[in-house]
Chains A and B, each alone.
Chain A
Amino acid sequence: MSAGSAGPPQASSHRSAQREGTRVNTAPLLVARGLTKTFGGLLAVDRLDLEVHAGEVLGVIGPNGAGKSTTFSMIAGALAPTAGGLEFDGASLIGLPTHAMAARGIMRTFQHNKPFASMSVRDNVMVGMHTGFTGSLWSVLGATRGAARAERDAVRRADELVAFVGLGEWRDADVETLSFGQGRLLEIARALAARPRLLMFDEPAAGLTPAECDRLGEIIRQIAGQGIAVLLIEHDMRFLMALADRVVVLNFGHKIAQGTPAEVRADPSVVSAYLGDLGAAAHA
């Protein structure tokens, strides 16, 4: 599949339509209000407000210990917030078990790839479709026509997704034979398999070669282009600034700035807290 074509095969047309018109007028898909997490006496995230709209890439940056990962874990349902609200498409996410997120349309990738090691690339992606299978176990045991069709469709769509991220040649391969960068692409295909409305990336560029980063950026742009909301937590400033529509900057658990990449870059508090150090390091 050529990089410039269709984008994630599962995105439906009405979602792409949401990208029409200005973002300001659409209701945000994900809303965090006063999100707070303390670990004992440590305030990891302090009253964070955050919104992600369909079709946009929201970048979250900050130095080590800024609370990026804690924020990510809270939204992904892996960590319960100490206080604050979290709403997705108007419904609260607070108290939902982690496995209920996928059915709501929230998927994530892992910073350290977490493939299902004993399974093929295709089967890994098919696990991502878990919530899409609505047939009961009885229909599986009875080998009903519906179950067989669901299985066939799933195989076909898995192959499309594997091709979309560029792993077409490896679809029958054991995941253990993949490189780290390929493993990252598999994470994305697996997450897309659930037809997410919000896709969360946990430092996706970490450990990738520059060429792989470029390819990753292209894929993320296409995903957002299909109307999927993208939340990107990233350490790699250059990668994120080139990709994000809006950026939220965290420092010691506080939001110190937000805006377009250009606005954030010019913000004096950001420059002193974070970019200044990095900039100085880059020039050294």
Chain B
Amino acid sequence: MKSLLGFVVAAVVLSAVAFMLGSYQTDIYRKLLLWTTLALSYNFLFGIAGQVAFSHFTFYGIGAYAILILLFQVGLPLPLAVLAGIALCVVLALVVAIPATRLEGFYLALATLAFAQLFIVVLNEGRTVTGAAGGLANYRLPDVFGVRVTGPWYTVVIVLLLLGTLAVLWRLDRSWFGRACRAVRDNPEAARAMGVDVARTKIIAYTITSAMAGVAGMVYAFVDNTVNPPIFGLPNSFLLLFMVIVGGSGRHAGAIIGAALLYLMPFVLSPLIGHHHALVFGVVMVAVVLFQPKGLIGLWDALMARRRAA
């Protein structure tokens, strides 16, 4: 009950913000919410389930392209297109995950990198279906039950996406499934001895989080109203990884902090130091990895612990 109230308050506050912003700020705000959503689900995959996968941003792209192709080329109505898009993400996630569960660490990273690169190749070679290098543009969100969802109201959709994602991950994390995921990450052999089916747990974690990234991608498709291959390239996959590490992997709050910090940093720093903001980014990354492996949330924990002790 208490957590439900928290979600309602968060929904109201985050939505209210949407109605106070100009168009430039709206764009930044929407992308901040989307990055946070992605960082949350990637945190479950990387931080909690311990899978070093670079395919998360790819599924974001698959979701975005899938919804557009299904709506405007296949001609499905919106609800069906969403369901079919989710189904596609689930199938592709299984195709990647089932052979990949045999791989660990470095090799899983390589396999998912290859998948991510393959996606970019498919986008570029997809002719009119994917729009090739130019991508897809000149479309708009179909009316939902006769209502045109635009402006701040579309931002509210993104807020609900973020909170829905958080709610699902929160529940999963505090269940036998979340414990099994952490157990598999910490010690697969001991997890097996506890009756955890390690391969199955990995596949489910990968598939659920990848499908969630796909759904976020569907929402993203109507933010810029254009999608093209460079958006879904590797730089953003790595940025996502950095967000989770800087914030504190394995923690929802860490993912939120990391996404906010790394996404907003260029906007704050660019006016002050121009392109040198990339240097600051690099220094922050190295400093966190070296001195604060538990991320910024770990710093916060230490602060709180000291306060309690005092």
Contact = CB atoms under 8 A, between A and B. Distances in A.
Interface of A: 76, 78, 97-103, 107-108, 110, 114-119, 123, 126-131, 133, 137, 140-141, 143, 147, 151, 154, 190, 194
A102 B192 CA distance: 9
B167 to A, nearest CB: 9
A147 B175 CA distance: 8
Contacts of B195: 99-103, 130-131, 194
A133 B179 CA distance: 12
Contact of B194 (A78, A117, A127, A154): A127
Contacts of B172: 137, 140-141
A131 to B, nearest CB: 4
Nearest to B196: A130
A151 B175 contact: yes
Contacts of A154: 176
Interface of B: 168, 171-172, 174-177, 179-180, 182-183, 185-187, 189-198, 204, 250
* The 7 nearest A-B residue pairs measured at CB: A102-B195, A114-B190, A131-B195, A133-B176, A116-B186, A140-B175, A98-B192
Nearest to B191: A127
27 contacts: A76-B193, A97-B197, A98-B193, A99-B191, A99-B192, A99-B195, A99-B196, A99-B197, A102-B193, A114-B189, A115-B187, A116-B182, A116-B190, A117-B186, A119-B183, A126-B176, A126-B179, A127-B183, A130-B176, A130-B179, A131-B194, A133-B175, A137-B204, A140-B172, A147-B175, A190-B194, A194-B194
Contacts of A76: 193
A126 B195 CA distance: 12
Given A126-B179, A127-B180, A147-B175, A114 B187 contact: yes
B76 to A, nearest CB: 25
B286 to A, nearest CB: 23
Given A102-B195, A127-B196, A119 B189 contact: no
B168 to A, nearest CB: 6
A194 B195 CA distance: 9
B196 A140 contact: no
B293 to A, nearest CB: 12
Given A99-B197, A126-B179, A127-B191, 14 more contacts: A78-B193, A99-B191, A114-B187, A114-B193, A115-B190, A117-B187, A119-B182, A119-B183, A130-B180, A131-B195, A140-B171, A140-B175, A151-B175, A194-B195
Contacts of B193: 76, 78, 98-99, 101-102, 107-108, 110, 114
B263 to A, nearest CB: 27
Contacts of A119: 179, 182-183, 186
A93 B177 CA distance: 26
Contact of A127 (B179, B189, B197, B204): B179
A163 B201 CA distance: 30
A131 B194 CA distance: 8
B102 to A, nearest CB: 14
Most chain B CB within a 10 A radius of its CB, from A107, A127, A151:
A127
Nearest to A147: B175
A52 B225 CA distance: 69
Most chain A CB within a 10 A radius of its CB, from B185, B187, B190, B193:
B193
B145 to A, nearest CB: 25
A190 B174 CA distance: 18
A118 B180 contact: no
A137 B186 contact: no
A76 B183 CA distance: 19
A141 B204 contact: no
B165 to A, nearest CB: 12
Contacts of B197: 97, 99
Contacts of B180: 127, 130
Contacts of B204: 137
A208 B190 CA distance: 21
A135 to B, nearest CB: 8
A114 B197 CA distance: 17
B186 A118 contact: yes
A167 to B, nearest CB: 17
Contacts of A117: 186-187
A133 B195 CA distance: 11
B4 to A, nearest CB: 9
Contacts of A140: 171-172, 175-177
